[in-house]
Structure 1
Amino acid sequence: MVGGKMVLRLYAGEAEKLEKILLQEGAQKKGSNLVINGVTLSLYKRKLVINAEDHALARFIVGFLTPIKPHGGSDEAGKGDLFGPLVVAGTFLEDQLAMRLAIDSKELSNGAVEKLAQFFKSKCQVVIEQVLPHELTSNMNAVLLKLHLNVYEELDHCRPFYVDDFGATAQLRSHGLVPIYRGEVIPAVAAASVVARATFLNWLKEHNLPAGSSREAQQVAVNIASEQGCSALRNVAKANFSLVRRLCVGGEQNLF
C-alpha cells in the first residue's frame, strides 16, 4: 500500500520457499521478477513487492507463509519534534496480512503512512494515547512510560506485548511488557509506529506546522512567540523543549 504497491514483510529463508511455491501455482519468470494473474511481483530476501494494490492476491500469497502468532506492541511519534503532541499507539495483531504489511513508519512516505494507518485501524485492535504540547512539562521518558503502560492496559494486557525500547527496560519488564531494541522488527510495533506517526502528522497538518526540530522549525517558533506570545507558542510547541523555555524566558537572543 505504498504508491499503488503492497510490500509484504518476509523473514529469513521465506523468499526462496515462496518463489518455488508461486512458480508451482502458475507464476511466470520475467527477468528477476515473477508475474501472476497479470501482476508483477518483485521478490527480495526480506520483502515481497506486489506491484498493484491487490488485497486478494496479497492474502493468497500470505497463505503460503508461516503464520505469525498474535501479539501486541506499541511505539511513539513526535518525541524529537519541536511542534505537536507526543503520541503513543498500541496495536494487537491477529490478521496475517496486517502482520506482513506492518513496516516501520520511518521507511514510508507521509501518504503511505496515512493509508496504512487506516488499514490497521480497520483490521486490528488499535489504541492511541497522546499528550498535548503544553502538557509536556516533565521528563519525556517518564511521560512515555505512562503512555505505553496506558495503551497496554487498554488492550487488556494482551501478551506477548512488545515495545520499542526507549530506555525504560526494567520498568517495562516489571509490568509484563517486552522491550526490544529497534522494536519495529516486530509487526505489532511497526504497525503501532505507523498509527502513531499518522496521528502526529494529522495534528501538524491541522495546525500548519513543520515536523522535526530544524532551523526552519525553530524560526517558526520564534515567529509565533514574537507575533502571538509565549502562551500561543506553548499551545503548539513542547513546553519541556529547552528552545521553548529559552524563548519564553530570555527572548530570541538566547536561541543560538
Structure 2
Amino acid sequence: MRAMEKKTSYTVKLTPAQMDEAARILREGNYRRRTVEHAVAAAAGEDCQIVLYKSGKCLVQGKGAADWITFVLEPQVLGEARLGYEEVLNPDSIAPHMGVDESGKGDFFGPLVIAAAYVDEAIAKDLKAMNVRDSKTITTDKAMQDLARKIRSRLGDRFTVVAIGPSAYNRLYDQMGSVNRILAWGHAKAIENLLEKVPGCPRALSDQFGPEQQIQRALQQKGRKIKLEQRHRAESDVAVAAASILARSAFLSAMEKLGQAHGVTLPKGASDKVRAAAAELVQKKGGVVFLETAKCHFKTTDDVLGPLGKTRKSEGLPPAPERKPYVHRKKVSP
C-alpha cells in the first residue's frame, strides 16, 4: 500500500474572536514575524507559514501545516477537532475520481436512475462546503432539488445521469433476471458517459451492491482501464454523495412527469400508500399500466392484482420471478 501524503496547504475561516486568539499565539509564540499584504498577522513556524487575513481567513502552508492545525489551531483556537483529518488520513477523498450511485431501486413506481459525478480537490472542497451528503439524510424533496441545482452548477458538465424508465427497466429485467445485473449495466453506462467528458478520470467509487466483476464485464472498451472500487457506506465520499443527490433529483422529476402523464400522484417506496395508488391506477387503466409506470417484478404487483381478481397473465404482465422460500436454520450445538 502506498504511503499517504499529508496536504501542505489549508485555508480555515475564523471568527473575529478566533482571529484575535490566533494573532496572540503568533505574537507570543516561537514564530518569526512576516509581512504579508492584507494580513492582520503573519508568521513562520517550524516547517510552516501562517497568515491571518483581514477577511477572516487563516492560511497555513508548508510540510508542517497539518501538524500545526492538529496541535495548535484546533485545540487552542478552534476548540474542536473539525478540520484536516479526513484529508490527511484519506487523501483519496479529494483526489480526482468519480462517485456513482443510484435512486429508485426500492421504489415500485418510477425509473431506476444511476448518476456519476466527478470531483478533484477544488470541487470536493466546494461540495463539502455546500454540505453535500448522502441523499438519504435529506428529508424534503425541495431541499433535495435545491441542493441538486447547486451541485449541477458547480460540476458544470462533469456529471452524467442514466435514467432507466419503467418500460426499459421491465425489458432489461426480463432479459437479465436480476436487479444487480441491471445496476451493473447502469453503473457501467454512467461511468462510460462520464469518461467521455473527463477521459483522464482514474477511479470510480460506488456503494457495494454486488461483485465488482459485474460492472467490469458491463464496461465497454473505453471504460475498462478505470480502477473500480465498491465499498459499504460509500455515500460518505463526497463524489458518491453528489451522485446520490443527482440521481434522486432526477428520480423525483421523473416521478412527477410520470404521475402527470397518467393523471395521478405516484407515491414513493413500496408502502400501503403505494399499493392503494397502484390499485386505483389498475382500476382506471388495467394492470398493463404497470409496464409503463412500475417495476413489475416487485411483489407489490401481485399484492395489488390479487384483491382485484386479476393476475399477471390476465393483465399481460411478465410472470412473477421465482422467489425462494425462507428456510429457518437452527444453530447446531458443537
TM-score for both structures, normalised by structure 2: 0.55
* Deviation, structure 1 residue 204: 1.9
Q: Which residue of 2 aligns with 1:108?
A: 138
Q: Which residue of 2 aligns with 1:71?
A: 97
Q: Which amino acid aligns with 1:165?
A: Q
Q: Which residue of 2 aligns with 1:186?
A: 237
* Deviation, structure 1 residue 173: 6.0
* Deviation, structure 1 residue 148: 0.4
Q: Which residue of 2 aligns with 1:154?
A: 193
- 1:87-131: per-residue Cα shift (whole Å, max 9, x none)? 000000131212443200011122211111111111111100011
Asked whether 1:127 is paired with 2:160, we answer: yes
Q: Note closer, same or farther for the CA distance 1:44–1:93 as it changes in structure 2 (3 Å cut).
A: farther
Asked whether 1:143 is paired with 2:200, we answer: no
More moved, 174-183 vs 81-90? 174-183
Q: Note closer, same or farther for the CA distance 1:45–1:103 as it changes in structure 2 (3 Å cut).
A: farther
Q: Which amino acid aligns with 1:252?
A: L
Q: Unpaired segments of 5 or more residues in structure 1?
A: 1-16, 28-35, 48-61
CA distance in structure 2 between the aligned counterparts of 1:245 and 1:86, rounded to whole angstroms: 20
CA distance in structure 2 between the aligned counterparts of 1:142 and 1:202, rounded to whole angstroms: 25
Give the SS at the match of 1:177: strand
CA distance in structure 2 between the aligned counterparts of 1:25 and 1:70, rounded to whole angstroms: 33
Q: Which residue of 2 aligns with 1:170?
A: 213
Give the alignment of 1:157-236 within 5 angstroms.
Answer: 158-172=201-215, 175=224, 176-206=227-257, 207=259, 208-236=265-293
Q: Which amino acid aligns with 1:136?
A: Y
More moved, 95-104 vs 187-196? 95-104
CA distance in structure 1 between the aligned counterparts of 2:270 and 2:238, rounded to whole angstroms: 28
More moved, 75-84 vs 114-123? 114-123
* Deviation, structure 1 residue 24: 4.1
Q: Which residue of 2 aligns with 1:117?
A: 148
Q: Note closer, same or farther for the CA distance 1:46–1:235 as it changes in structure 2 (3 Å cut).
A: farther
Q: Which residue of 2 aligns with 1:25?
A: 19
Q: Note closer, same or farther for the CA distance 1:205–1:26 as it changes in structure 2 (3 Å cut).
A: farther
Q: Which residue of 1 aligns with 2:59?
A: none
Q: Which residue of 1 aligns with 2:27?
A: none
Give the alignment of 1:82-93 within 5 angstroms.
Answer: 82-93=108-119
More moved, 119-128 vs 153-162? 153-162
Q: Note closer, same or farther for the CA distance 1:19–1:216 as it changes in structure 2 (3 Å cut).
A: same
TM-score for both structures, normalised by structure 1: 0.71
- 1:143-184: per-residue Cα shift (whole Å, max 9, x none)? 110010111111116222101111233334675311011110
Q: Which amino acid aligns with 1:105?
A: S
Give the SS at the match of 1:192: helix
Give the SS at the match of 1:167: coil
Q: Larger relative contact order (C-alpha < 8 A, sep ≥ 6)?
A: 1
Q: Which residue of 2 aligns with 1:31?
A: none
Q: Which amino acid aligns with 1:132?
A: G
Give the SS at the match of 1:240: coil
Q: Note closer, same or farther for the CA distance 1:46–1:76 as it changes in structure 2 (3 Å cut).
A: farther
Q: Which residue of 2 aligns with 1:252?
A: 308
CA distance in structure 1 between the aligned counterparts of 2:136 and 2:280, rounded to whole angstroms: 29
CA distance in structure 1 between the aligned counterparts of 2:13 and 2:301, rounded to whole angstroms: 57
